[in-house]
Structure 1
Amino acid sequence: MRKPMQGKFFWPLCIALILGSPLHMQSQDEAFGAKDEADHYFAKEGYYTAIDLYKKAYSQEKSADDKAALIYMVAESYRMVNDHVQAEVWYRRAIKARHDDPMAYYYLAKSLQAQGRMKEAQEELEKYQEKGGDPSLAAEAESSIELAQEKNEQVTRHEVDNLVMINSEFYDVAPTIVGEEGNTIYFTSSRLGSTGIDEFKRTGESYEDIFRTTRDTKGKWSEPERLPQGVNGYDHEGAAVLTKDGQRMYFTRCDKDDNLGCAIWVSNMVDDKWGEPKQVPLKTKEQEGHTVGHPALTPDGKVMLFASDLPGGQGGKDLWYTVYNDASNSWGSPVNLGSSVNTSGDEMFPHVRNNGNLYFASNGHIGMGGLDIFMAEKTGDNEWGNVSHMGAPINSISDDYGIVYEGDFERGYFSSNRIGGKGKDDIYSFSLPEVVFAFQGVVYDKDGQFPIEGAYVKVAGSDGSSFEALSDANGAFVFDANGEERYINPNVNYAIEVGKVEYLVAKDNISTVGLDDESTTFVKEFFIQSTAVEEIEFPEVQYDLGKYTLRPESKDSLDYLYQTLVDNPTIIIELAAHTDSRGSASANQTLSERRAQSCVDYLASKGIDPARMKAKGYGETKLRISDAEINALPADEREAAHQKNRRTVFKVLSWDYVPN
């Protein structure tokens, strides 16, 4: 499988400080050709300078094939500095000029993906394969597009905001939180005012330094200030981490004058000032050209994780760790985290939460595009695995990295060059709002449909909790905050009872079990039945013509009345049956009495005490619609009117039954 060209230390986002080796350029002979000089700068990661030199070489070149190759290298240089728009333009030009490398289609697809143009990216990947590109590389890129589409459709509850008060038009990256209060942040920036005075050939900007900002009681961040000289020098400094007491700082430094790799340095706080830093010896002399950076500490401060391309890794840059030896007051030999975390790509920007889980950025694990943020569970002593993608909106189709959590809270900061930022790379805050639940509703009179004041609402939870409230003048009630706690809590089933004097109770249930993804307010309307009426209807009890034997479906109707008696254990009722006017009055009277009794007998068979029920037959003596009114109706409406007269209803006689 042909690996995409990445350059010696390919990651241009955070400039040489973050991942690349320092860029040391020797003066070039005037006779040195523009193409050779451009190649030299490109090899040394001087992409910003290489762009102009390749364009100059293009204007001097006569050969069509060589011109096409130079166009391709302009595109490559733009890709390396993460200018996806210009990279797209120049890859298209290279393809139009018949540059024969299939990778032009591959990188064009990646540039389109970085701009969110997924369908076009997939089309270019198809062309890449048609031109003989590596199928496995195409499949990996296709998986990344599919993941981006999936994650953008299934975003997590995280809220993400640009820290506009901190960010500048330049690179602002790699935040680290200082102190348990979380009100101070150190971060890395290439903004104006850095100590280094030279232009960095890779980006055309200043060298990076470490800056500090503090948040006041109103949540406003102060104007960032550069840490004093000593920590910041004329090299690249950044990607820092502090011990929990804030008295020791580890950071990354890349020497601009010597052709050496980046290294981790340490400075101690002395009299409220940072002392002269010293290099942490993590490389042998033979390994000086390798990069070591991005220090992170475990909660106890005894293990340091970092990113490096030291020999013995899995691929590009890997995550390593070293253990502090108290006896010798020194850090031990680096140990690679292994294939459970590292890939053949790059893993960088480690951060260990208080719970021991590891967060890091990677372009080796399948992500949404560029660097994405992943989490690895702590599986043992200095062991992590079960890597999972953090999803959107933490991740995007752009580059996302450098996440840090604030203590045990579900909030923190990370870096990204996503669309819509203030600068080239910005610092973003994130938080995971707590999933909270509430229960509210209104109680109405069932017959009159008006709100009831003073109805009680009792709630009992499966966790043993119980609470109640009275409805207000509008019939409303609400259970939300209970001091610093909540009435309604996760993973609990709640039984609800609503009632009032001279009203039958109503019951219902709500459940928060399984509702882990979003806050929910349960809204209910309760229509409770007044007992200060002559007749209370319930689902129709049906009989065969002239019969009093209950039909099967009538038992279902009576089960409703059964539940009413269970829910209101002190009521005594009259269960009344009525007939229509057809047939003799005496026959209808007898039939209604037997029908009422059959209902009582059925309810008694289900366990209701017969002493709570009085069977009463009214025959045709209480017609709702008179014969004269029925006869005045159209013929096809008369049967329905007779049916309204044939009814079984109940009323509450008293509330003084004492259950056994």
Structure 2
Amino acid sequence: MKLKNYIITSIILIISFITSAQNGALKKADNLFNKFAFVNAAEAYHNLIDKNYNADYATRQLADSYAFMRNPDSAVIYYEKAVKQQHVPVEYYYNYAQALRGVKDYQAYRVWMKRFKNEGGKINDEAFLKDSDFINSIFNAKQQYFLNDVNFNSKYSDFGAYEHNGNIYFASSRDNGVSTKHVYGWNNEPFLDIYVTNKSANDTIVDHKSKLKGNINSVYHEGPLTITKDGKTMYFTRTNFTKNILGNDEEGITNLKIYKASLVEDKWKNIEELPFNGNDFSNGHPALNEDETKLYFASNKFGGYGGSDIYYVDINNDGSFGTPQNLGNVVNTDKNEKFPFVNSEGVLFFASDGHPGLGLLDIFGTVADKNNKIINVLNLGVPVNSSKDDFSFFMNSDGLSGYFASNRNGGIGSDDIYAYDRIPQLKVEGTATDIITNEPIQNAVVTLLSTDGNDIAFVETDENGYYEMIIDRDADYNLNIKKDNYIESSKPVTSKNIERHTKSIIADFELNEDVKKKEVIQIAEFYPIYFDFNKSDIRKDGTSELDRIVGLMVNKYPNMTIKIESYTDSRGPSEYNEKLSKERAIVAYKYLVDHGVNPERITEYKGFGEQNLVNKCDGTIRCTEKEHQQNRRTQFIVIKME
């Protein structure tokens, strides 16, 4: 019985590990997708489909991933699979239509657009429907972003919000302190300074007391910034002003430069100008990539595509800088590209008035291929973009929240900061407990099913009886839970009519013990029988167990079926051991049949030689005879009880 319990436990642990890994793989795929890392996300969704784990959902996500990678040929294949699914969200009819347009199948495109409208679909923006770029149409078929007000905007210009370690840093021309700075002639507002406020602070007053401590702020402009992960180094934009000297070019124009500062005793000091600046052009809007080996920035230096372009420069191990590199004409146009930001997956976002958009400056995301080469840009659509200037995009590491700035109608000041969030992944989660003891039930199998009974995904409860699974929004499901010795249970679950901020639906299970089934299984546990070295004769102790099996199968459980597996220890040639184990399986089979068991109720009897040793006695270590004896056995495995 110990051996059988060991085998069962091992199988359960393996299944639990695999299931947990698959659930983790789904989370990883979704996180990559949310952060615009579509190449890696596509690979992860492919793996899930190959393993038939939540395959319907993974297929839809894979189709979207291919669409965003500007690969309509592959997108069409998986959208076609998606629209054949039961209860598929209606926007996938629209997505499929746009992908068909991408492969120039206009007849099918019109068919699916008609079906989309007939199913209640609405076109949010006709401009995207007319846009010849199918990828932007797909991306904006459904609202991706939702806006939230922030409590620290002023009647002046506020932008460049950057979150780090619970603080929000931003640039603002509010200067209501005792010594108001010069007024900037461009907009008749005070010059910009950098401010900081705690994200969780309820106080909406952010005034001159909230200015960044140290030597960064001057009497001229300081603007967008980025901070290293350790919080010790800041890169920021400033008017060409060093050591109280205002620099300018040959025409007397003062440009922007990027500077570096160090945090010393909670104050930003040691201001250094970066070496690739110049007096005759502006560098600004610095942004670090995830591993802090590259600094991205905007510049109108000579040799670009026109206006200001996005560049990057390598940061060497010794802190020195390489030569600035222009990102090329997929990103840059003959107009202005500004305010780069790189998220935790290495995806670049920027503002531009040169790419097709909704207004003046719009915010765009980039799509890269498997070699990290940028191949396309995506307009983030409404409500991030508007008919006015939208810029200074920032995304938190979760890929679901962040900030941007806009001078759109309805704000408080000339430029205002807006917080956004994206619809988070929705999961169903819960615990399984014993209804009598209230103890958690481990390794119960929880299966997610469609309303027509098709399996979608399954997981096993952990040591605390907990489970979770990703589900679609606006859908109905059934949950089923099974566990040996407990009565099976099911319940309906719906994700319809829930708030968009909802991240989880709770579905707990209290299970009743199945006493009758438990008794049957306990009775039906068979012990192995053992053999002497190099023999296949049934010993006296083996006869006793075989007689017990006969009694149970003939008298107690006439419908029980079993299989027989025999083994040897590791000593002797493997070919000989395989033959010997077969002989041991045959003698056990004949004994049961000769004593009244119908041979049809023994599904198989096989010998496996020295496979599946129950200990480490594989010939590489010295073992006792008692230890070798444990491997010379024949096992009886119950296939069916009733």
Q: TM-score, normalised by structure 1?
A: 0.45
Bigger Rg over Cα: 1
| TM-score (norm. length: structure 2) | 0.46
